[in-house]
Structure 1
Amino acid sequence: MAKRSRRRTRRSTGAAVVVAVAAAASLAVVVAVAVPLAGAISEGAPDEPRPIAVPGLPVDPAIESADDGHADDAWVERVSADTGIPARALRAYAAADLALSDEQPECGIVWNTLAGIGSVESRHGSYGGATLEADGWVTPRIVGPALDGDGFAEIGDTDGGEWDGDTEWDRAVGPMQFIPETWRRWGADGNGDERRDPNHIDDAALAAARYLCASGPMTEAESWRDAIFSYNPLTRYVDDVAETATEYARLAERE
């Protein structure tokens, strides 16, 4: 199949986000994912902030794509090697980026933002010894702590334990750590198998992209941060995603 380079024009605004230097977040810290205004996850003031470039604005980590709308194999191999993002996860983030560039071109979401979230949330589906398989499934499933109000948001069961196995409290599920009630609304079929499962990286990445874009265009510093904050309302979480995504963009840039 013929291949083409799909480059999208992004403004280089020189904008910066004021972020804190934070330690890498663990699943237990950032578990209240995709719940807008879910409340404090943990207590304590953030560190003194410093500026970090907004992912996707000063640089253009463009995706080279094939005619089937997916990322080109050579691009995936190169960027995976340069960034350390597992190739299978990178394919999912790139596919979601390309899908949203067609569905909602005004949003401006980029693959490295999704990769930043995937890294912070589950280390790209590898948290706790899990493995991201070649078919996109994460095994064993990644399930967060009970959202019982003890250090986390308090969210009673909304899915009868269908996704998280807990009939008393909700728990975040999958490589992008969706809470069941949020998945019910935003769940997506990213791999075309007519199923929507938060444990599949393609489904989870596409759902995350659509969820973020619902906040509005992500092409300015403030709106980008607002979108990430809606995913997990914790300032240091936004900081971690910003720092990680920006580094991925830097590493992916061709010399």
Structure 2
Amino acid sequence: MLEPILVAARGRIIAGVLGGAAGVVVIVLLVLALTPRAGGGTVLVPDETPAPRWAPPADPPVAAVTPGPYGIAGLAEPAWVARTAKATGIPRRALAAYAGAAMTKASAMPACGLSWTTLAGIGRVESDHGRHGGSTIGADGTATPPIFGPALDGDGVARIPDSDQGAIDGDTKADRAVGPMQLIPQTWRNWHTDANADGREDPQNIDDAVMASANYLCRASTGLDTEAGWRRAITSYNDATTYIDAVARAAEGYRTAADR
């Protein structure tokens, strides 16, 4: 079970009115941390190094000559995925999802300017790329065992009464954030997508979850290849300064590692 351990973001809910069919979108981000801890999971520890103000985009992924299986995860060249995974420490299956989602948005909505490193930074902070609590991402992109956040029952966290009868989060009393990108049921219903083309829409699948997050970010802001646009998008995801700093630090670290 995930723990919301950033004091400034503990139990925070960000609501944005995005118009159109999306309506009111609510994201709860239960922030994991950037160092291992005993017994599994991760915790955020103080970092004396000033966080970067934002995460400039990395070079785009190299496109596969022939797209591979699993929808968006097959869009990046396997050699690029292998090389970049080794340089950054991001698991290949998660990296393929981040790259594929960024490539998809670059084609469909180039004004967004979303980089794979931004998605990877969020994935690192949210669930350690689907590895929180001993979970792993399978070849099909699904987290096993499923990843669930704590009950949002108002006890030290935000209060969000059950909205899905437990169908998405397994809890019939209060909502929980789910999957590698930690989306609550209300958010998933607004942004659900079948990004791995398996005929199912599953927030526990990293392709589906990352693509839903990419869609949200690009609706919340454009120009993520600028500081103002990037900060506006991440702030819409979670406005805690410590959260924004953590994502910026992780994303910038991945860009630097990939560029070596």
Q: Give the shorter-chain TM-score range.
A: 0.7 to 0.9
Find the aligned partners of 2:83 and 2:168 in 1 and give their Cα distance: 35
Distance 1:252 1:32, change over 3 A: farther
RMSD between superposed Cα atoms in Å: 2.6
Residues 77-105 of structure 1, C-alpha deviation per residue, up to 9 Å, x if partnerless? 00000000000000000000000011111
Find the aligned partners of 1:105 and 1:27 in 2 and give their Cα distance: 35
Q: Which structure: greater helix fraction?
A: 2
Would you identify which runs of 4 or more consecutive aligned residues in structure 1 move more than 2 Å?
A: 26-42, 46-51
- Give yes or no for the alignment of 1:141 onto 2:146: yes
- Give yes or no for the alignment of 1:112 onto 2:117: yes
Unaligned runs of 5+ in 1: 1-25
Which residue of the other structure, out of 198, 221, 246, is the alignment partner of 1:240? Answer: 246
TM-score (structure 2 length as normaliser): 0.79
Partner of 1:23: none
Q: Shift of residue 226 of structure 1?
A: 1.8
Greater CA deviation, 100-109 or 230-239? 230-239
Checking the alignment, whether the CA contact within 8 Å between 1:41 and 1:234 is kept in structure 2 is no
- The percentage of aligned residue pairs carrying the same residue is 48
Distance 1:147 1:245, change over 3 A: same
Checking the alignment, whether the CA contact within 8 Å between 1:34 and 1:182 is kept in structure 2 is no
Partner of 1:21: none
Within 5 A, what are the aligned runs for 1:127-138? 127-138=132-143
Q: Shift of residue 151 of structure 1?
A: 2.2
Partner of 2:4: 28
Checking the alignment, whether the CA contact within 8 Å between 1:156 and 1:170 is kept in structure 2 is yes
Partner of 1:50: 50
Within 5 A, what are the aligned runs for 1:100-179? 100-179=105-184
Q: Shift of residue 61 of structure 1?
A: 2.5
Distance 1:39 1:142, change over 3 A: closer
**Partner of 2:63: helix, strand, or coil?**
strand
Distance 1:252 1:34, change over 3 A: farther
Partner of 2:207: 202
Q: Which amino acid in 2 is paired with 1:198?
A: P
Distance 1:131 1:51, change over 3 A: closer
**Partner of 1:52: helix, strand, or coil?**
coil
- Size of the aligned set, in residue pairs, is 224
Q: Shift of residue 241 of structure 1?
A: 0.4
Partner of 2:62: 64
